[in-house]
Amino acid sequence: MRDLKSIDNRVMWVHNPVAESFGSRCAIMNMPSGTQAQIVVGTNEEGWEHVSVSLRAKRLPTWDEMNMIKDIFWEDEEEVVQIHPKKSRYVNLAEALHLWRPVNGDWSLMMEG
C-alpha cells in the first residue's frame, strides 16, 4: 500500500472516531462519474490492508471506479483482490465493495481460517 501521505492530494481525510478506534482512516473523494466516494482505509487489519468503498449515489462502485481506487491506494505491481467468501462467512453491511491485500504480500493467508 502506498504511504497515505502520498495521496493527500487525491482524497479529503475526515475525522471518524469509530473508524479511528479500529486503526482505520476515512476519506471522501470525488469520482469521475460525478458522485462522491466514502472510503475507509485500514493499513493493518489482522494482517490485511483494506480499502472499503461506498458511493453517495447509493449504488455499488463499478469495475472502473474500483480499479481507480486500487491505483490510488496501491503501487502498480501490487496485487489486490475482492473476496467472495463462502456463504457461512458472508456479511453485507452496505452498498460497499472492498479491496484486500496481505500486508506482507504473502497470499497464503487467504487460504487460512
Contact at 8 Å (CB) between 38 and 26? yes
Residues spanned by the domain of 102? 4-111
Residues 45-86 have pLDDT tens digits of 888 899 999 999 989 999 999 999 999 999 999 999 998 878
Q: What pLDDT was estimated at residue 53?
A: 95
Cell triple for 64: 472502473
How far CA 20 is from CA of 13, 34, 41, 67, in Å, comes to 12, 28, 10, 25
pLDDT of residue 109: 62
- Give 26's pLDDT tier (boundaries 50, 70, 90): very high
For residue 82, is it left (φ>0), alpha (ψ between -120 and 50) or beta? beta
pLDDT tens profile 81-107:
998 878 888 877 778 999 999 998 888
pTM equals 0.86
Q: How many domains does the chain have?
A: 1
Residue 25, pLDDT > 90, answer: yes
Residue 82: name the closest of 42, 58, 37, 52 by CA: 52
Bridge partners, 42 (sequence order)? 24, 50
- Residue 48 pairs in a beta bridge with 45, 102
